[in-house]
Amino acid sequence: PEDAWYKEAVDYVYANGLMNGTSATTFAPNMLLSRAMIAQVVHNLEDNPAAAEQGVFTDVAAGAWYADAVDWAAGEGIVSGYGSGEFGPEDNITREQMALILYGYAQYKGYDVGAGGELSSFTDGASTSGWAAEAVRWAVGSGLLSGKGGGVLDPQGTATRAEVASILMRFCELNG
């Protein structure tokens, strides 16, 4: 809808080829984003380069729509799996996982990642996983993650396509 809080962000990511719709006429803003989808988004930011290595993860089937994106992003150190050789492509992305991937992409691009936000300013900031804390602090400090209202960051919560579109628009404008 024209008056939706996410309208500008959805228009931005669609117009810039970062995210596609779920059909020719729908975006599905409330649908959760998967780990495969965020890998594809980062791959799209780079104009879909070829991966140096194929089959990086045991659960990413060759020929899957996201295989090239996941393999490329893993090869560049932008994404990582669960430590068991699996990526979890169909798992819903958490907000802290998304922050870590964008942090890795920002480092890959040589962007300034020195911004640091205070997780203690959120009622649930301490629930951020240790492996994601630096990336989440950067995402908060740079204005990419601002919480969900009421002082809640929800680092281990999932992210909708609308939320990711908004974060991606801010990321691109910050580093444009």
Q: For residue 25, what pLDDT band results from cuts at 50, 70 and 90?
A: confident
pTM assigned to the model? 0.92
Give the tens place of pLDDT for each residue, 40-69: 999 999 999 999 889 999 999 999 999 999
User: Does 176 score more than 80 pLDDT?
Assistant: no
User: Does 9 score more than 90 pLDDT?
Assistant: yes
**Helix residue ranges per DSSP H, 110-159:** 133-141
User: Does 92 score more than 90 pLDDT?
Assistant: yes
Quote the pLDDT of residue 148: 87
* Residue 3, token pair as written in the block: 């008056």
The arithmetic mean of pLDDT across residues 77-85, rounded, is 92
Burial class, 146, CB count within 10 angstroms (exposed 0-12 / middle 13-18 / buried 19+): middle
Quote the pLDDT of residue 175: 85
Quote the pLDDT of residue 23: 87
The arithmetic mean of pLDDT across residues 122-147, rounded, is 95
Quote the pLDDT of residue 119: 95
Residue found by looking up tokens 């204005």 in the block? 143
Quote the pLDDT of residue 89: 97
Give the tens place of pLDDT for each residue, 93-130: 999 999 999 999 999 999 999 989 999 999 999 999 99
Q: For residue 39, what pLDDT band results from cuts at 50, 70 and 90?
A: very high
Sign, Cα dihedral of 14, 145, 95, 174: positive
Number of other residues whose CB lies within 10 A of the CB of residue 65: 11
